[in-house]
Chains A and B, each alone.
Chain A
Amino acid sequence: MTIRFTLNSREVEIDTDPLRRLLDVLREDFGLTGVKEGCGEGECGACSVIIDGELANSCIVPVGTVQDAVILTIEGYRETERYRVIEESFAAEGSVQCGFCTPGFVMAAEVLLSKNPTPDEKAIREAISGNLCRCTGYHMIVEGIARASRTGAKLWAKPTDR
C-alpha cells in the first residue's frame, strides 16, 4: 500500500505492508533511531511519537493507519525552541539517567504542555503515566517537566493567554 504522511515537517510517501509497525518504518526506512523499542507491547512508551498532536506508541501503530497524518518524532522535535527548554530543564533537574526512556518522556511532555501549559504535579504524573522509567523513580522527570513549563511558559502559552 502507498502511504503518505508528514514526517518531521516533510511530506513523505512509502510503499509498504500497511501492517508494518510504525516504529519499524521510522527506524529502518527513515533511520530515526531516537524512537526506541523497549517492549513492543505498547507498555513502556520508549517508542512514543506524536501523531496529529496526540501521543502514540509507535510499536503498536500499523503504518496503514497513519495515511495523511502529521507525525513528529524526537528527531523533528529536537530542532525546536520548545525542545531546547525541555533539554535544559531535564539536565538541570537530573531527569536523565540511562536515557533510554528519555525521548519518550520528551514527547509526552510536549503533548502535555501543548494542551496544558501550566500543569500541576498531578496533571504531569497523569500525562506521563504511560511512560516507564526504571532508573529515576520519576520525581526528577516530573520536576524537569514542571521546570520546562515555568521557564518556557511563553512557548506553550495558548494564543488567548498571551
Chain B
Amino acid sequence: MAERIETSIPRFEAPEKTGGLAQYIADIPFQNMLYARTLRSERARARIVSIDIPQMPEGYITVDSSDAPASNRSHMIEDDWPFFAEGVVNHVGEPILLVVGPDKAEIVRLLSEIEVQYEDLEPVLTIEESIAADKPFFGDRNIMAEYVIEKGDTEKAFGQAEHVFEDEYHTGIQEHVYLEPQGFVAVYEDERMVVYGSMQCPFYVKNVLVQAFGWDEKRIRVVQTVTGGGFGGKEEYTSILAGHAAFASYKTGHPVQLILDRAEDISVSTKRHPSTCRYRTAVDDDGRLTALQAHVQLDGGAYVGLSAVVLQRAMLMAAGVYNIPNVRITGEVIATNNIPSGAFRGFGAPQALFAVEMHLHSLAEKLGEDPLDFKMRNALEKGDTTASCGRMHHEVKLPEMVRTLEHMSGYREKRHSHRKQSSRMLKGIGASLFFHGCSFTGSGEQDKIKAVVKLRKRKDGLVEILVSSAEIGQGPQTTLRKIVSHTLGIPVMRVVYKNPDTDRVPDSGPTVASRTVIIVGALLEKAAADLAERMHEAGEIEVTKQYEQPDYICWDQDALKGDAYPTYSWGANVVEVEVDPATFEIRITGLWGVYDVGTPIDEQVVLGQIEGGMAQGLGYATLEVMEMKNGRPMQANLTDYIIPTAGDYPRMQVALVKNSYEYGPFGAKCVGELPFLGAAPALASAVEHALGQSINRIPVTPEYLMEAVEHDHPIHPEQ
C-alpha cells in the first residue's frame, strides 16, 4: 500500500446519508407495528397510591413493572434502576407505564384519562439538601459512590507550604442533543426478542434484556440501526427504552415502536453530571506545585447508572496534566431526585479539567506569572508518576504542542495587548492544557470487557469485520476498514463492515471511552496480520482475537492505584473572545488547538472529531443552560435548550503532532472525547482576561457576568 493510512478517504456511508437513503429507526416500517407512549411521573419523589386506568379498548394495553418477565431492573453496575416505577417515583419523568396500541390519537386520549394519585415525599433536589437529608432515599447516606486517590503526604506538604491557594468551581448540566432522538422497535417472533434501534452498545442492551427476561441469551437479538449521534447519551439510557419496547412486544405479540419526542428526550434521558470541585494547592517559591487536594462532588440524579465510573475518571483527571508529588483527591456521587446523570463525552473529565485548569490559571495570576508558563513548568513528562501513582510510560509532547500553539495563535502578544483595551469590545485570550486516558478506566478492558473481534475472509474474497462497535458519526465505518485494508494490503472497498447485530458479531465491547480505534482497531490489526498469511487459502477463513492487556500496565482497582489508563492523548487550546461591555455577550473570535492523538487513522475523521468536540465543548462553556426547578428542567425543548449554530463560532486552526503509540493500530491513540475537554477552561480564562473578573462556573453566561460585574460596579441603582 503506497498511500499513508492517515490520508483521508471519503467516508463510506456519506452518500447514502447525504441523499436521505440511510434508514434510521423511525424510517423503518414493520408489519402490524404498534406504537408506545410513556406515562411519566409528575413528582420528584412520591409514593404511587393508585393509578386509575380507563377501560382499554380492544387492541390497546398498558405495560408496567408487572410485565417485566424476570427482572424490572436495568442492570448497569448496580441493579437499582427500574424500567418502570415500583410504587415509588424518584424523579420527574420517571416511567410509570406505557400505553400501547395501533392509533396514536387514541393512545394520547387514553393517556390523558389515566389518573395517578401520589403521596408526596420530601425530595432532595440539590447536593446540599441530599447530604443534609435525615431520611436518605438511596442507601444509608444518599451517596452512590465515593473514593480516595492518594499519593505522597499532602498534609505534610501543606504544613511546609510557602503559598496555599483555595478555590471552588461549578459545572452545569449538559444535554447531548444528538440530532436523532432515541428510539427502538422490538419484535417478538419465533420465541425470540429482536430489538432494533439507535444505540452505541448492542451488547449492553442484550445483557440487560437477558436479565430482564430471564431467558437463554440465544433468545435475545439486538441490531443497531443507523444512529444519528450518541455522545454517550445512547450508552446506558437505551437499555431502559429497549426494555420498554421489548416488554410491550412480548405482551402484545406485535412489533412495538417507542421513539421519544425531542422535548421528552431532553426532559428525561440521562444528562452530564453537574459538579462542584474544591481545590487546595501548595506552591513553593520556585513556582512548583508541591501538593494538591481536590474534592469532587457529582450529582448523580435518582439512579446510579454509570456514575461510579464517571466519578473515578473525574478523580483520576483531577490533578490535570501536572506532575505533583503529593496528591489527595476525594470524591463522591450524591443521589438526588433529579434526572439520572449518565455518560457524556468526557465522562467526568470535563468537570475536573475545568476546575484544575481554572485553579492553576487563577493561582498563576495571583503569583504574577503567565498561566501557561506556570503550567508548563509543572507539566508531566515521560517517567513521572500520575496522581494514582501510575507512570507516564510514553513521550509527553506538551512542550512542542505549546510552542506550536503559541506560534499559531499569537497568544503571548495578545495576553499583553488585549489588556490594553482600546476598542469598544473587551478582548481576551486564554489557554488550556488537557489530556484523556484512552479506553476503559483501570482494569475494565481486561476484567470486564475482554473484547473479542473476528475477521472473516469470505468465499467471495471480501473480508468482513465482525465487531460490536457502532458507527454513530465518529467514523469507525471508515477507520476500522482502513486499518484492516492497510494491514492486508487490499483495497478498502473490499472490506465489509455492517452495523452490529448480536447474532453475527462477538462482543468487542461498547462504543465508548474513545476505545474503538485503540482497542478494537488494534485487535483488528492483529487479526488482519494473521489473516494476511492465509489470504491465498481457498474458502472461508475466520480469525478471532481477544484483548490482552499490555505487560507494562499495573493497576489495583480496589486502591485505585497504578496505571489508570494504558496511555493518554493530549491537547492544548487557545480561545480568543470579545465581550460586549454593555450586554456581556461573548463573541468567540479565535480558536486554536494542537493535539497528540498518536497516528491519525484518517486525518479528516480526526479533524471532524476535533472541530465537533470543540463546538460541543464551547456550547457547554457558554450556551447550554439547563436549570432545574422542582426537579424539572426549565429548558425542556430545543427552542429553550441552546446549542451552537453555524453562526456562533469561527473556523478553528488545528495542528497535530506526531507521537506513535506502539500498542495502537498504526500507532493510533484516541480522539473521540479529547477535543471536548479543553474548550471550557480556555474559554473561561479568555473571558477572565477580557473582564478582569474571576470566573468559577460554567456555563459562562451574560447573566452570570452581569451579576458579577454589577455587584461591584452597578450601572444604575435598582428599583
Would you call B638 an interface residue if the criterion is a C-beta within 8 Å of the partner chain's C-beta atoms? yes
Would you call B274 an interface residue if the criterion is a C-beta within 8 Å of the partner chain's C-beta atoms? no
Known: A36-B180, A90-B18, A134-B616; 5 extra A-B contacts, CB below 8 A, are A37-B26, A38-B179, A97-B475, A100-B178, A139-B651
CA distance A39 to B641 in the complex (A): 12
Would you call A158 an interface residue if the criterion is a C-beta within 8 Å of the partner chain's C-beta atoms? no
Contact A125 B15 (CB under 8 A): no
- From B17, B613, B644, B647, name the one whose CB has the most chain A CB atoms within 10 angstroms: B17
CA distance A32 to B21 in the complex (A): 10
Would you call B607 an interface residue if the criterion is a C-beta within 8 Å of the partner chain's C-beta atoms? yes
Contact A103 B20 (CB under 8 A): yes
Q: Please pick, from A37, A39, A87, A97, the residue contacting B15 in the complex, using a CB distance under 8 A.
A: A87
Known contacts A39-B638, A92-B10, A139-B651, A99 near B18 by CB under 8 Å: yes
User: Which 3 residue pairs spanning A and B have beta carbons closest together?
Assistant: A34-B20, A99-B17, A98-B473
Least CB distance, B593 to chain A, in whole angstroms: 11
Q: Please pick, from A83, A98, A140, the residue contacting B228 in the complex, using a CB distance under 8 A.
A: A98
Q: Pull 22 A–B residue pairs with CB atoms less than 8 Å apart, ordered by A.
A: A35-B20, A36-B179, A38-B181, A38-B638, A40-B261, A41-B262, A78-B19, A83-B19, A94-B605, A96-B11, A96-B14, A98-B229, A100-B178, A100-B229, A102-B17, A102-B18, A137-B614, A137-B616, A138-B645, A138-B646, A138-B649, A140-B608
CB-nearest residue of chain B to A33: B27
Chain B residues, CB < 8 A from A15:
none
Would you call B680 an interface residue if the criterion is a C-beta within 8 Å of the partner chain's C-beta atoms? no
CB-nearest residue of chain A to B10: A91
CA distance A98 to B474 in the complex (A): 7
Q: Please pick, from B11, B19, B262, B474, the residue contacting A34 in the complex, using a CB distance under 8 A.
A: B19
CB-nearest residue of chain A to B604: A94
Chain A residues, CB < 8 A from B615:
136-138
Contact A99 B614 (CB under 8 A): no
CB-nearest residue of chain A to B637: A41
Would you call A7 an interface residue if the criterion is a C-beta within 8 Å of the partner chain's C-beta atoms? no
Interface size class of chain B, counting residues whose CB lies under 8 Å from the partner chain: 35 or more
- From A86, A98, A133, A134, name the one whose CB has the most chain B CB atoms within 10 angstroms: A98
| Interface residues as binary, B460-485 with A (CB distance below 8 Å gives 1, 0 otherwise) | 00000000000011110000000000
Would you call A52 an interface residue if the criterion is a C-beta within 8 Å of the partner chain's C-beta atoms? no
Would you call A69 an interface residue if the criterion is a C-beta within 8 Å of the partner chain's C-beta atoms? no
Q: Please pick, from A46, A91, A136, the residue contacting B18 in the complex, using a CB distance under 8 A.
A: A91
Would you call B24 an interface residue if the criterion is a C-beta within 8 Å of the partner chain's C-beta atoms? yes
CB-nearest residue of chain B to A138: B646
Would you call A141 an interface residue if the criterion is a C-beta within 8 Å of the partner chain's C-beta atoms? yes
Chain B residues, CB < 8 A from A102:
17-18, 20
Least CB distance, A81 to chain B, in whole angstroms: 14
CA distance A37 to B646 in the complex (A): 20
Q: Which of A76-93 contact B (CB under 8 A)?
A: 78, 83, 86-87, 90-92
Q: Which of B1-50 contact A (CB under 8 A)?
A: 8, 10-11, 13-24, 26-27
Would you call B570 an interface residue if the criterion is a C-beta within 8 Å of the partner chain's C-beta atoms? no
Contact A129 B645 (CB under 8 A): yes
Known contacts A98-B179, A133-B179, A75 near B262 by CB under 8 Å: no
| Interface residues as binary, B217-242 with A (CB distance below 8 Å gives 1, 0 otherwise) | 00000000011110100000000000
Would you call B553 an interface residue if the criterion is a C-beta within 8 Å of the partner chain's C-beta atoms? no
Chain A residues, CB < 8 A from B161:
none
Would you call A44 an interface residue if the criterion is a C-beta within 8 Å of the partner chain's C-beta atoms? yes
Q: Please pick, from A90, A128, A134, the residue contacting B179 in the complex, using a CB distance under 8 A.
A: A134
CB-nearest residue of chain B to A46: B179
Contact A135 B646 (CB under 8 A): no
Least CB distance, B315 to chain A, in whole angstroms: 28
Contact A100 B611 (CB under 8 A): no
Known contacts A41-B262, A137-B612, A34 near B472 by CB under 8 Å: no
Contact A126 B472 (CB under 8 A): no
Chain B residues, CB < 8 A from A41:
262-263, 637-639
Would you call A101 an interface residue if the criterion is a C-beta within 8 Å of the partner chain's C-beta atoms? yes
Would you call A132 an interface residue if the criterion is a C-beta within 8 Å of the partner chain's C-beta atoms? yes
CA distance A130 to B645 in the complex (A): 7
Chain B residues, CB < 8 A from A92:
10
Would you call A68 an interface residue if the criterion is a C-beta within 8 Å of the partner chain's C-beta atoms? no
Contact B11 A78 (CB under 8 A): no
Contact B262 A38 (CB under 8 A): yes
Would you call B177 an interface residue if the criterion is a C-beta within 8 Å of the partner chain's C-beta atoms? yes
Least CB distance, B657 to chain A, in whole angstroms: 21
| Interface residues as binary, A39-77 with B (CB distance below 8 Å gives 1, 0 otherwise) | 111011010000000000000000000000000011100
Would you call A131 an interface residue if the criterion is a C-beta within 8 Å of the partner chain's C-beta atoms? yes
Contact B18 A96 (CB under 8 A): yes
Chain A residues, CB < 8 A from B18:
86-87, 90-91, 95-96, 99, 102-103, 106
